[in-house]
Chain A
Amino acid sequence: MKILVFGQIRDNAIEENVLGILNKLSEVFADSEISLALLANQINNDWVEELGKHGAKKVYTVEASELENYLSYPYVKSMLEIIEKTEPSLVLAAGTVFGEDLIPRLAVHHGISCAQRIVDISLDIDNILFHTPVRDDQAMRVTKLVGAIKFATTRTGAFFINENPSGKSPEVEKVEVTFEAEDMLVKHIEIKKAERTVNLKDAKLIVAGGRGVGGKDNFQILKDLATLLNGEIGATRACTDLHWIEETYEIGQTGQSVSPDIYIAAGISGAPQHLSGVKAKTLISINKDEGAPIFNYSDYGIVGDLHEILPILKKKLE
């Protein structure tokens, strides 16, 4: 079987989730031929080598100035060319913002639907099965796709990366694609990169706040608690978007990934995009809504107002 993976580039390197996909594929489809698609203004050979190490047999490259930044049309066009060349049975991309834009469009061009945010992939007698958690991860929906070519995105953070990859240099094939003015209807202006001044990766304890914190000043109690417990603070994108806290503290798919022993979530609803960045040994949550999804993931929790609970908690711990 032939499988094609979108080799997304992020910060001048292969997106980590792509490496996770390669690891997963090597487990599930041992005899398959895995190819990667690399699209960029200029292909860096390190990317190619990295992909080979992680199991890519072949890398298709498209180099063009139009591909310097992700934009739907030029990326779709390039991928369609590569798909036509390789005739894969399965096309995968990490479920990043770009991957989620790309895969459904490619599927449309092949007149087929797609599976989304899968956390597992398996083989039935003659079907590929896609596993997607739904209803706040309380139920698992398994789907199959009917058609000669299948498309899917993976949930970010779902697959482990092989720490000791031993693959060889892949074969490289250049693909030429020409672009027209109408491919560039959407204009890339800029990427406002969030400043990452504090690294939360090694934090053993994190006190994280969400929209329920209710304001910039209210973050003080979280900071005090974090200091008291020798930990760091964290936040959801909702809070960084509101400028209640510096962007560096954003945790999740689009923020930092953390793996503390203890994660205290205050006023956080538990969106999958937030929780995909949290791998904590113990999750303690405080939320005034008993039905908040966060409780499904929590080891301990208090249903209550964080403005009441946190000060008491701090006092008792002092």
Chain B
Amino acid sequence: MKIIVFIDQIVSTQVKLQGVDFFDPSKVDDVDLVINPTSKNAIEGALKLKNTFDAEKEEEEEGAKVTAVCVRGLKPIKALREAIAMGCTDAIEIADDTLYTEDPLLLAKIYVGALEKIGDFDLVFLSAEEQSSSSYAVGAMLAEKLGLPSVLYAEEIENIDGGFRVGHVLEGGRKIVEVPQKALISTSDSQYFTPRYTSMKGILNAKRAVIPTWTATDLGLSANVVGKEAASLQQVSLTNIVIEKESYIITEGEPEEMVDNLLSKLKEDEVKLGA
């Protein structure tokens, strides 16, 4: 079994970069580049299936492989080493200045290119990311381009004969569907996908791992197909949202002082708690 998981690297939300500055790479430190937390959910989904498969396989059969692929991020290699440290078998970096990933359709094309070069695979995992403009659409676009049965926003996965039974997020509850074994699954951050920590063995593997870098040319893609000039979703402007209302956030003090501070401020502003 061969599972491909597409991950992203983002600027940690711990970093206090406000609004527009967040999107300026020159303002970002390398140490603040992390695997997108939702990508970790996707990695976890892939690793869980690998674990189940490996536990049930015949002795002479090869274990399941999970390949992490990262296109988006300032230093994808860093994210990929961490993915291996979590338990992925290997990784591929796709890096090329001509690639434009803020358009989900172009990102989907890059992913298709990567999958074609990889060749054989059974399952594709990915997740959605809040910060980019590609996020929500890319899973559905990729599935449609590949003609793969898919489930978006999965919350739980159960192995069944010849495929998977998957529960996914739905307004007003949860929907259960069945997909064949060759499928695409996008993950949510449900309990089921709580990411595991890196392991000692994984960290060693990550150190030793040779991670190939593929360029657009390696994928047979040119700038007029996946470059900014090819984008049909174009940014017109990016501006800070000015919030009129002032917020009163208490960051310092002993817990009791903070509560007193809050209550007296509420009183001053004539905000009543309760009846």
> Contacts A107-B137, A134-B131 hold; do A303 and B250 have CB atoms under 8 A apart?
yes
Q: How many of chain A's residues touch chain B, expressed as a range?
A: 35 or more
A230 engages B275 (CB within 8 Å): yes
Known: A228-B274, A272-B130. A295 touches B249 (CB 8 A): yes
Distance (Å) between the CB of A221 and the closest chain B CB?
Answer: 13
Q: Does B237 contact A (CB under 8 A)?
A: yes
Q: Which residue of A lies closest to B11 (CB)?
A: A135
**Interface presence of B207 (CB below 8 A):** no
Min CB–CB distance B170 → chain A (angstroms): 5
Interface of A, helix, strand, loop or mixed by DSSP: mixed
Contact B232 A104 (CB under 8 A): no
Q: A140 with B247: in contact, given A109-B144, A134-B131 (CB under 8 Å)?
A: no
| Bound Cα distance from A194 to B175, whole angstroms | 11
Residues of A within 8 A of B151 (CB): 186
Say yes or no: B236 contacts A144, CB within 8 Å: yes
Taking a contact as CB atoms under 8 Å apart, the answer to whether B130 and A136 are in contact is yes
* Chain B proximity of A290: nearest CB distance (Å): 6
How long is the Cα–Cα vector from A101 to B168 in the complex, in angstroms? 12
User: Can you name the residue of chain B whose Cβ is closest to the Cβ of A227?
Assistant: B274
Interchain CA distance A112-B255 in the complex, whole Å: 53
A117 to chain B: closest residue by CB: B136
In this assembly, does A231 line the interface, its C-beta being within 8 Å of a C-beta of chain B?
yes
Q: Tell me which residues across on chain A come within 8 A of B16, comparing CB atoms.
A: 291
A242 to B, closest residue via Cβ: B191
Decide yes or no whether B143 CB sits under 8 A from chain A: yes
A142 touches B271 (CB 8 A): no
- Bitwise interface map of B from 231 to 259 toward A, beta carbon under 8 Å scored 1, else 0: 11111111111010101111100011011
Query: Chain B residues near A190 (CB, 8 Å)?
Result: 175-176
- CB neighbours (8 Å) of B235 from chain A are 141-143
A71 to B176, CA, bound (A): 11
Q: Please, which residues of chain A bring their CB within 8 A of the CB of B240?
A: 138-140
Q: Is the CB of A114 within 8 A of B104?
A: yes
Specify which chain B residues have a CB less than 8 angstroms from the CB of A254 in the assembled complex: 169-173
Q: Report B44 CB to chain A, min CB distance, Å.
A: 14
Closest CB pairs A-B (n = 6): A229-B274, A104-B137, A113-B233, A113-B105, A104-B140, A189-B176
In the complex, what residue of chain B is closest to A188 when comparing beta carbons? B177
Given A186-B151, A186-B179, A147 and B232 touching (CB < 8 A)? Answer: yes
Please report the C-alpha to C-alpha distance between residue A97 and residue B173 in the assembled complex, in whole angstroms.
11
Question: Is B66 located at the chain interface by the 8 A CB criterion?
Answer: no
Question: A187 interface residue, CB < 8 Å from B?
Answer: yes
Question: Are the C-beta atoms of B169 and A186 separated by less than 8 Å?
Answer: no
A282 at the B interface (CB under 8 A): yes
Specify the chain A residue showing the minimal Cβ separation from B20.
A139
A190 CB to closest chain B CB (Å) equals 5
The one of A72, A95, A238, A299 in contact with B150, judged by C-beta atoms closer than 8 angstroms, is A72
Docked-complex contact B255 and A312, CB < 8 angstroms: yes
Q: How many residues of B contact A (CB 8 A)?
A: 83
Judge whether B117 is part of the interface by a CB distance below 8 angstroms. Answer: no
Question: B53 in the interface, Cβ–Cβ < 8 Å?
Answer: no
The smallest beta-carbon distance between A317 and chain B, in angstroms, is 6
B54 adjacent to chain A (CB < 8 Å): no
**Further contacts, 14 of them, CB under 8 A, given A107-B105, A188-B175, A298-B249:** A10-B172, A11-B172, A105-B140, A108-B105, A108-B108, A186-B177, A186-B179, A189-B177, A191-B174, A191-B176, A299-B247, A302-B249, A302-B262, A317-B263
Judge whether B234 and A143 touch: CB under 8 Å: yes
Do B104 and A113 have beta carbons less than 8 Å apart?
yes
Bound Cα distance A139, B130 (Å): 12
23 A-B residue contacts at CB 8 Å?
Answer: A100-B137, A103-B140, A104-B137, A108-B108, A113-B232, A116-B104, A127-B236, A129-B236, A135-B19, A138-B241, A139-B19, A139-B239, A140-B241, A186-B149, A186-B179, A191-B176, A238-B191, A293-B13, A298-B247, A302-B258, A303-B251, A304-B255, A313-B259
CB distance from A119 to the nearest CB of B (A): 10
- A186 contacts which chain B residues (CB < 8 A)? 149-151, 177-179
Interface string of B22-34 (1 = CB under 8 A from A): 1100000000000
Chain B residue nearest to A231 in the complex (CB): B274
Contact with A along B82-104 (1 / 0, CB 8 A): 00000000000000000000011
A202 interfacial contact with B, CB 8 Å: no
Within the complex, the shortest CB–CB distance from B207 to chain A, in Å, comes to 30
**Cβ–Cβ < 8 Å partners of B13 in chain A:** 136, 291, 293
Are the CB atoms of A138 and B173 closer together than 8 Å?
Answer: no
Residues 122-172 of A at the B interface (beta carbon under 8 Å):
124, 127, 129, 132-147, 153
User: Whole-angstrom distance from the CB of A103 to the nearest CB of chain B?
Assistant: 7
CA distance A286 to B14 in the complex (A): 16
Chain A contacts for B103, CB-based, 8 A: 113
Residue of B152, B243, B247, B273 with most chain A CB atoms under a 10 A cut-off = B273
Write the nearest CB–CB distance from B101 to chain A, whole angstroms.
Answer: 12
- Residues from chain A with a CB closer than 8 A to the CB of B255 are 304-305, 308-309, 312
